[in-house]
Amino acid sequence: MQNAQNILITGASSGIGEALALASAKRGARHLFLCGRNAERLESVADRCRAAGAEVQAQVLDVADETAARAWVNACEAIAPLELVFSNAGIGTGVENEENVRRTFATNVAGNLNIVLPALTCFRARSDKSGRRQIVITASIAGYAPLPACPSYSATKACMKPWALAWRKPLAREGILMNVICPGFIRSRITDFNTCPMPFFMEADRAADIMLDRVNRNVGLIAFPWPMRFASWFLSICPWRLAEFISNFLPEKNSDATNVSF
């Protein structure tokens, strides 16, 4: 497939979302609809995308707000029919207290529903079903197996991976594409707070190019780098007692950050 022209990206103020926005602009995207929770960082990303030639609408938005998220998706669709939707916004927490756990689930699970479901409604409402209609959800390799270092983050990403993949076949009958990205350690505000080892660490701009290339090829599960994918997959298929034993040797995530967004 050719590069999409009308692209919506959540969590675009930093990390993977920022890199996807900039890479999309450089690849010739015409309309970019970007949201994030930090106005200053978001506007900086928007300005750089405009300098690369894209028309950009930037909106400060918390995807956990269902009403606001739906209104924003509908407003973007009214400006230019969306071709590619990156439901990317997410947070991680280094302190598993009740407030942070609830916030992580509200953003990483409900936040995805608040973007994906309105986008599907927009896609289905179009009279012309021949155009590109594609949704990409950002999960994580951390979602392959339960990780004691990040229980809430691991669980929320584990939820998104099978949800997206299970949608692929029924949505394909409607001409709608669904993909899920499971990256390893990619530079972001979350990894900036990590104190644990981060094997196969990758800069966000390189990761964004990999993601966009595979999205354009409609790869269903976009998981990389492969050594981390294999290790996480192996841990997920181990008998539980063995997996629990192996987990005892994994490094702890000693982050002082309470909630950090992408």
> Could you list the active site residues?
153
Non-local (6+) Cβ contacts of 79 within 8 A are 31, 33, 57
CB count within 10 Å of CB 109 equals: 18
**What does the alpha-carbon distance between residue 138 and residue 190 come to, in Å, rounded to a whole number?**
14
- Return all residues near 78 (Cβ < 8 A) that are at least 6 apart: none
Task: Please state, in angstroms and rounded to a whole number, the distance separating the CA atoms of residues 234 and 60.
Answer: 39
The first and second tokens of residue 121, run together, are 């409604």
Whether the CB-CB separation of 84 and 7 falls below 8 Å is answered with yes
